[in-house]
Homo-oligomer: A and B are copies of this chain.
Amino acid sequence: GARVGVVFCGRQAPGGHNVVWGLAAAVRRLGGSVVGFEGGTQGMFAQRAVEVDDARLALYKNQGGFDMLGRSADQVRTEAQVAATEAACRALRLDGLVMIGGTHTGSDAAALAETFAARGVGTKVVAVPSGIDGDLVNNFVEATVGFHTACGVYAQLVGNIATDANSAKKYTYFVRLMGRKPSHIAVEVGLQTQPNAVLIGEEVADHRWTLPDVVRRLADVVARRAAAGKNFGVVLVPEGLIAAIPEVAALIKELNALFRAGVSAEADVRARLTPWCAALLEYLPEFIQRQLMLEREVHGSVQLSQIQTERLLAELVDAELAERARRGEFAGKFAAVCSFAGYEARCATPSPFDCELGFALGHTAAALLAAGQTGYMATVRGVTHGVERWVCGGVPLAAMLACARHSHGIHARIPPSSVDLSGAPFAALKAGLSSGGWADGEAYRNPGPTQMGGPTRDARPAVTELRCGNDGDYLSRLGKLHALLAATRERCTPGCDAHVLDTALASMSCLDSILNGMRDRRGAALE
For the complex, give the distance between the alpha carbons of A157 and B39 in Å: 24
Do B347 and A164 touch (CB < 8 A)? yes
Do B160 and A66 touch (CB < 8 A)? no
Interface residue ranges of A432-481 to B (CB < 8 Å): 446, 448-454
Residues from chain B with Cβ under 8 Å of A348 in the complex: 156, 160, 448-449
How many interface residues does chain A have, given as a range? 35 or more
Do A164 and B446 touch (CB < 8 A)? no
Do B451 and A347 touch (CB < 8 A)? no
Do B453 and A65 touch (CB < 8 A)? no
Q: Which residue of B lies closest to A68 (CB)?
A: B167
Interface residue ranges of A325-346 to B (CB < 8 Å): 337, 339-346
Do A452 and B454 touch (CB < 8 A)? yes
For the complex, give the distance between the alpha carbons of A346 and B167 in Å: 11
A378 at the interface (CB under 8 A from B): no
Do B450 and A449 touch (CB < 8 A)? yes
Q: Which residue of B lies closest to A170 (CB)?
A: B72
Residues from chain B with Cβ under 8 Å of A347 in the complex: 160-161, 163-164, 167, 446
Do A451 and B453 touch (CB < 8 A)? yes
Do A166 and B446 touch (CB < 8 A)? no
Residues from chain B with Cβ under 8 Å of A163 in the complex: 12, 63-65, 67, 347
Q: Which residue of B lies closest to A457 (CB)?
A: B453
For the complex, give the distance between the alpha carbons of A347 and B346 in Å: 22
A103 at the interface (CB under 8 A from B): no
Interface residue ranges of A84-107 to B (CB < 8 Å): none
Residues from chain B with Cβ under 8 Å of A450 in the complex: 449
A349 at the interface (CB under 8 A from B): yes
Do B349 and A343 touch (CB < 8 A)? no
The contact of A339 among B66, B340, B346, by CB within 8 Å, is B340
Copies in the complex: 2
Do A67 and B166 touch (CB < 8 A)? yes
Do B446 and A169 touch (CB < 8 A)? no
Interface residue ranges of A149-169 to B (CB < 8 Å): 153, 156-158, 160-161, 163-164, 166-169
Residues from chain B with Cβ under 8 Å of A158 in the complex: 344
Interface membership of chain A positions 167-198, coded 1 if the CB is closer than 8 angstroms to chain B and 0 otherwise: 11100010000000000000000000000000
Residues from chain B with Cβ under 8 Å of A148 in the complex: none
For the complex, give the distance between the alpha carbons of A105 and B72 in Å: 51
Do B446 and A173 touch (CB < 8 A)? no
The contact of A160 among B161, B166, B344, by CB within 8 Å, is B344
For the complex, give the distance between the alpha carbons of A449 and B459 in Å: 15
For the complex, give the distance between the alpha carbons of A71 and B168 in Å: 5
A122 at the interface (CB under 8 A from B): no
Interface residue ranges of A181-235 to B (CB < 8 Å): none
Do A169 and B70 touch (CB < 8 A)? yes
Do A168 and B340 touch (CB < 8 A)? no
Residues from chain B with Cβ under 8 Å of A337 in the complex: 343
Add 18 more A-B contacts to A65-B164, A66-B168, A167-B347 (CB < 8 A). A12-B163, A39-B169, A63-B163, A63-B446, A65-B160, A65-B163, A65-B166, A67-B166, A71-B167, A153-B157, A153-B160, A156-B449, A160-B347, A164-B343, A173-B343, A449-B449, A451-B451, A451-B452
The 3 closest A-B pairs by CB, nearest first: A449-B449, A65-B163, A349-B448
27 A-B residue pairs with CB within 8 Å = A12-B163, A12-B164, A39-B169, A63-B163, A63-B446, A64-B446, A65-B160, A65-B163, A65-B446, A66-B168, A67-B163, A67-B166, A72-B168, A153-B160, A160-B343, A160-B345, A160-B346, A160-B348, A160-B349, A161-B343, A161-B347, A164-B346, A173-B343, A339-B340, A349-B446, A449-B450, A451-B451
A residues within 8 Å of B by Cβ?
Answer: 12, 39, 63-67, 70-72, 153, 156-158, 160-161, 163-164, 166-169, 173, 337, 339-349, 446, 448-454
